[in-house]
Structure 1
Amino acid sequence: MSVQFDVRPIRVEGRSRLAVVGITVVAALAVWALLAPVAGVELAAMQGSRRIDVGAGSVLFASTAMAFAGWALLAILERRTLNARTVWTILATAACILSLGSPLVGGIGVGAKLGLASLHLIVGAAVILGLRRTALSATERC
């Protein structure tokens, strides 16, 4: 009689992707609160000929959307490729760097440019570092 064990990879406890989304949103809102209400930086940008003021609602929505988008891409890559963690990290880092173009070009004033860029970086760092930790390595998945 032979006993077989299920050897599928199990996520390590404490590596919750939903927690990463929450941490990302809290970090982004904390940075926004320090910049806008506390420091008085006017976070505004031009999008075409339209002026956009970045408030707490915008930060909440954008950071949540980006965290869930990162999660979705990682999940897709985990199903389609063996080295999903590495591929995802490269793609997410490139997306974060490319996203800096928007605030640096569209921000109204130096304070807004630096403030909006810091929001992009804090969201990128939280998503990249957080979700990367939740991904199983290629050896753990095989």
Structure 2
Amino acid sequence: MQTRTRRLLTVLAAPAAALLLWTAAVPLGGVDLTVDQAGTPLTVGPALVAAAALIAGLAAWGLLAVLERFTARAALVWSIVAAAVLAFSLTGPLAAATTAAMLVLMGMHVLTGTIVITGLVRR
């Protein structure tokens, strides 16, 4: 499989996996995914989940492409940056209204990050 095709499938798999987790947790599990967004409650729905995962995947792919043009160690540099971004992103779910919501949101972050990190740099 060509690199571009594999990377496109990776970027598309990330939101698909996040949506599967959202489906298992919210409609099937009854978890209320509400977070405090600057004092306003925000319900995390499927569109937000898909958009966030897709944007993160596209941004990651774009950064990797830029690094591949300018450095010989692009995969290593990108992997370190991606892991740091994933770790930082885990602070967002701390604003969840409930512990269950926080755990589900963290799970979505880790799932999306794992798919993107392993899928984009794999040879």
Q: Percent identical across equivalent pairs?
A: 37
Please state how far the C-alpha of 1:14 moved relative to its aligned partner.
Answer: 4.9
Residue type at the aligned position of 2:118: L
The answer on 1:88 being equivalent to 2:103 is no
Aligned position for 2:40: 50
* TM-score w.r.t. length of structure 2: 0.95
In structure 2, C-alpha distance between the alignment counterparts of 1:36 and 1:92, rounded to whole Å: 28
1:128 corresponds, among 108, 114, 117, to: 117
Over 6 Å off, 4+ runs:
none
Pair member with larger Rg: 1
Aligned position for 1:68: 58
SS state at 2:97 partner: coil
Q: Per residue, is there more helix in 1 or in 2?
A: 2
Q: Which ranges of structure 2 fall in alignment gaps of 5 or more residues? A: none
The answer on 1:37 being equivalent to 2:27 is yes
Q: Which ranges of structure 1 fall in alignment gaps of 5 or more residues? A: 1-12, 135-142
SS state at 1:88 partner: helix
RMSD of aligned residue pairs (Cα, Å): 1.0
Q: How many residues align?
A: 121
1:99 corresponds, among 83, 89, 93, to: 89
* TM-score w.r.t. length of structure 1: 0.82
